Amino acid sequence: MSVPCAVRHARSSDIERVVALHEASFPGFFLSLLGPTFLRELYRGLLALDEGILLVAEMPDGRVIGFLGGTDDRPAFYRRLLRRRGWRFALAAVPAVVRHPSMARRVVRGRERAERGNDPGDAGVNQAPGSLMSLGVAPQAQGTGAGRELVRAFDRVVQSRGSAGYTLTTDAEDNDRVNAFYVGLGLVPASEHVTPEGRRLIEYVRVWASADPRA
- Note whether residue 186 is domain-resident: yes
In three state form, how does the secondary structure of 77-137 look? HHHHHHHHHHHHHHHHHHHHHHHCCCHHHHHHHHHHHHHHCCCCCCCCCCCCCEEEEEEEE
pLDDT tens digits along 31-68: 888 889 889 989 999 999 999 999 999 999 999 999 99
CA distance 193 to 119: 10
Q: How far apart are CA 185 and CA 155, in angstroms?
A: 11
- 215 in any annotated domain: no
Q: Closest Cα to residue 17, out of 178, 138, 146? A: 138
Parallel, antiparallel or unpaired: strands 200-207 and 188-194: antiparallel
The predicted pLDDT at position 94 comes to: 63
Q: How far apart are CA 187 and CA 207, in angstroms?
A: 9
The CATH number of residue 169's host domain is 3.40.630.30
Position 180 in a domain: yes
- Mean pLDDT on 63-92: 85
What share of the chain has pLDDT > 70, as a percent?
A: 77
Helices (H), the chain: 15-25, 30-33, 36-48, 74-99, 103-116, 146-160, 176-184
The neighbour count for residue 90, using CB atoms within 10 Å, is 15
Q: If pLDDT is split at 50, 70 and 90, which confidence band does 121 have?
A: very low
Q: How far is CA 128 from CA 3, 30, 84, 109, in A?
A: 32, 25, 24, 22
Question: Domain limits at 82?
Answer: 6-207
Task: Please calculate the CA angle 21-204-93 and round it to the nearest 5 degrees.
Answer: 45
Residue 212 in any domain: the answer is no
Please provide the average confidence, as pLDDT, over all residues in the chain: 84
Q: Residue 48: inside a domain, yes or no? A: yes
Which residues, listed in sequence order, are joined to residue 70 by a DSSP beta bridge? Answer: 53, 132
213 assigned to some structural domain = no
Q: Evaluate whether residue 142 is within a structural domain.
A: yes
In the chain, how many domains are there? 1
Flag whether 12 is in a domain: yes
- 192 DSSP 8-state letter: E
Kindly report, residue by residue over 125-157, the tens digit of the pLDDT.
Answer: 557 899 999 999 999 888 889 999 999 999 999
